[in-house]
Structures are given as structure tokens and as C-alpha cells.
Amino acid sequence: MAIRQIRIIGDEILSKECKPVREMNGRTRELIADMFDTMYDGNGCGLAAPQVGIRKQIVVMDIDDGNRYVMINPTVLKQSGTQTGPEGCLSVPGKNGEVTRANYVKVKALNENMEEYTLEGEGLLARCILHECDHLEGKLYVEKVEGELYDVEPEEE
């Protein structure tokens, strides 16, 4: 597949709400595959469609738990508990910040076959789900940072 250009903070599309996906087609399947490639290329654990310039409610995630997640038109059903920790974003390169989010989340979404499912997550998975769902509403994590953003050392390859 292809690696797409990641939109960076300040790009207008990152502040816009995304539209629901109505049907699965070849272009949407290609977008999902490209989103995974782009996320892996950037060493991310999640990526939302607006981050590659597409205003659709599509999220891909891989938090190294043995699963690859696709969420289309996700809706948060339940949140509980809290966790505070460092958060970063491929659209805010080189920066991290401390963010408090729910420690548990339950979402309803469609998979890549447009079949409805629910996903429950705790810890990092909950953080990733909520972070990516924020993107679909035109919100970046920097709006939730407690204190200041700080520089992140680039990973050596």
C-alpha cells in the first residue's frame, strides 16, 4: 500500500468534525490499509483519517497487544476511572504532554466489513481509543495537556 502525508497541528482539517462512513468500497479499504502503513511508518499506535487529510470517521490502532483494530463510526458508550500519563501524536511531532483520560472505555463501532461490534479497553488501549475518537471530533490532545508540552527524543533506528 502507500504511506500518506500526515497533517500537522495548524492544518485546518484537524479541527473539523468528520463525517460517518456510509458504505465500504475499494477506496475506503485502500485508505484503511494506507492508514496502517502510515501509522507504522511513523511509529504510532493509532491514526485517525483526518490525520491523513480525510474527513471520515475511521480509526486504526495497534498497541502491540497482538491485535490490529479498525473502528469506523465509533461511539463511546461508557468511560470510568482515570489515568494520567504522557501522550503524543503523529500530528504534533516531537512533543508529548501529560493528559488525564478514563482508564476504562467501551465503544461501539463498525469493523472493516461494516459489521457492528463493541470494544472494551483499559490502560493504553483506552487512552488510544479516546485520543483517536477526539480526532474525529476535531480535537487534538494538546487541548487536554496538563502543564506544558515537552520535547521527545527521537528514537534511534
Positions marked catalytic: 132
State how far the Cα of 69 lies from the Cα of 111, in Å rounded to an integer.
8
Residues with Cβ within 8 Å of 118's Cβ and at least 6 positions away in sequence, in order, are 77, 106, 107, 108, 109
DSSP 8-state class, residue 153: P
State how far the Cα of 104 lies from the Cα of 83, in Å rounded to an integer.
9
Contact 71, 109 (CB under 8 A): yes
All cell numbers assigned to 1: 500500500
Residues with Cβ within 8 Å of 150's Cβ and at least 6 positions away in sequence, in order, are 95, 96, 97
